[in-house]
Chains A and B, each alone.
Chain A
Amino acid sequence: DAGVTQSPTHLIKTRGQQVTLRCSPKSGHDTVSWYQQALGQGPQFIFQYYEEEERQRGNFPDRFSGHQFPNYSSELNVNALLLGDSALYLCASSLGHEASTFGSGTRLTVV
Chain B
Amino acid sequence: QQQVKQSPQSLIVQKGGISIINCAYENTAFDYFPWYQQFPGKGPALLIAIRPDVSEKKEGRFTISFNKSAKQFSLHIMDSQPGDSATYFCAASGWGGSQGNLIFGKGTKLSVKP
Contacts and interface: CB of A to CB of B under 8 A. Distances in A.
Contact of B99 (A41, A44, A98): A98
A63 interface: no
B100 A100 contact: yes
A45 B102 contact: yes
Interface in B53-89: 89
Interface stretch (A11-19, A67-75, A101-109): A101-109
Contacts, number: 69
A48 B98 CA distance: 11
Given A56-B95, A99-B46, A42 B101 contact: no
Contacts of A103: 43
Given A99-B46, A101-B46, A41 B98 contact: no
B49 interface: yes
B106 A41 contact: yes
Given A42-B91, A100-B100, 5 more contacts: A44-B104, A94-B99, A100-B99, A105-B42, A105-B43
19 contacts: A4-B43, A31-B100, A40-B106, A42-B6, A42-B104, A45-B103, A58-B101, A92-B100, A96-B97, A97-B99, A99-B34, A99-B46, A99-B49, A99-B99, A100-B46, A100-B102, A102-B36, A103-B43, A104-B43
